[in-house]
Amino acid sequence: MTLRTIAGGAELRVVADASALATTAAETIVAAAERAVAERGAFHLCSTGGSTPAAIYAALRSTAFASRMPWRQTTIWLGDDRFVPRSDPHSNLAAIDAVLLAPHADGSAAPMSTAQVEAWSTETPNADDAARAYAARATAALSINESGVPIFDLVLIGIGGDGHCLSVFPGSPLTAPDAPIAAGVAAPTHIEPHLPRLSFSLRILAAARAVLPLAAGAAKGEVLARIIDGSEPIATLPAKAALLPTATWLLDEAAASKLTGR
Ligand code: 6PG
């Protein structure tokens, strides 16, 4: 495992492959959960969509981590979701429903209950109203910072090929420092799936106690080099907002292959 400090005082951790990434992410989540429960009696994880979380949830459920995880004190939120019903396979809840809320193939009970997963309200007809309601739920349930932004114990983010994170795409008003905490997002035309989204703005990143950006695979190499080594602004590359001293960028070798200083 390679470790070094990168832009913004963030830590970079490079592991061999996607499987090591899932295990290392699970270890980070369990450690954050243990700390949060010891200090505040509850753990609020803000998870991500995309392709990486399913393997992380499976790792958390494995014997190596499941007994250490304070499941009963844990609440899972999502940084963003597609504005589709929960039953739609494009919902970011699909992986949580399948891996954390379902009984295991070996017959073991689900480690969490539906009430412990805070879902964006995709039945509300207006996306901005749905997003505002979610932000209000988060600010009521969590501590907030001096600007009223909820403080998650740990925020996981995936990195899009265009440099987005959450559903904050390049050029989005949600990149602004005074953006609303959450908003509806029109369906992107340049990134699949072409579905409207609900998303927190970038403001939750700096407010969080810890941030874990995750990326695996060679297809992410170029955009990661632009984000980590380049000088483009956050408005162009929203994931740059996660170059924070509280962040650990967890990449596999392939995703890190275009970075300088390796
Ligand atoms: C979403 C995500 C999004 C995702 C990135 C990376 O709902 O689409 O939250 O921000 O994390 O697009 O996705 P992958 O991990 O699939 O590359």
End-to-end CA distance of the chain: 12
Domain CATH number, residue 122: 3.40.50.1360
**CB 187 near ligand 1, within 6 Å:** no
> Residue 55: CB within 6 Å of ligand 1?
no
Q: What is the pLDDT of residue 51?
A: 87
Q: What does pLDDT average to in each consecutive run of 10 residues of the chain (262 residues)?
A: 92 98 98 98 96 95 95 98 96 96 87 97 94 98 98 98 98 97 97 96 98 98 98 98 98 97 67
Could you tell me the strand order of the sheet in which 182-185 lies?
80-82, 197-200, 182-185
Number of domains into which the chain is organized: 1
**What is the structure's pLDDT at 262?**
61
Residue 258 located in a structural domain: no
Decide whether any atom of ligand 1 lies within 6 Å of the 5 Cβ: no
If one residue of 51, 155, 172, 252 were mutated to test the ligand 1 pocket, choosing by the most ligand atoms within 8 A of its CB, it would be: 51
In a domain, 262, yes or no: no
Q: Are 38 and 70 spatial neighbours (Cβ–Cβ below 8 Å)?
A: no
CB of 166 shorter than 6 A to ligand 1: yes
Tell whether 259 is covered by a domain.
no
Residue 257 lies in a domain: no
In this prediction, residue 2 carries a pLDDT of 78
Residue 256's pLDDT is 97
Distance 112 CA to ligand 1 centre (A): 23
Q: Is 91 in the pocket of ligand 1 (CB under 6 A)?
A: no
Residue nearest to atom 7 of ligand 1 (CA): 49
Q: What tokens were used for 255? A: 């995703």
| Residue 105 falls inside a structural domain | yes
Residue 144 belongs to some domain of the structure: yes
Helix, strand or coil, per DSSP, at residue 111? coil
pTM over 0.85: yes
Q: What is the 3-state secondary structure (H, E, C) of 114-141?
A: HHHECCCCCCCCCHHHHHHHHHHHHHHH
Ligand 1 neighbour 217 (Cβ under 6 A): no
* 77 token code pair: 């939120």
Give the Å distance between the CA of 211 and the centre of ligand 1.
Answer: 15
Minimum-distance ligand 1 atom for the alpha carbon of 52: 15
Domain that holds residue 102: 2-252
Q: Looking at the domain assignment, is residue 25 inside a domain? A: yes
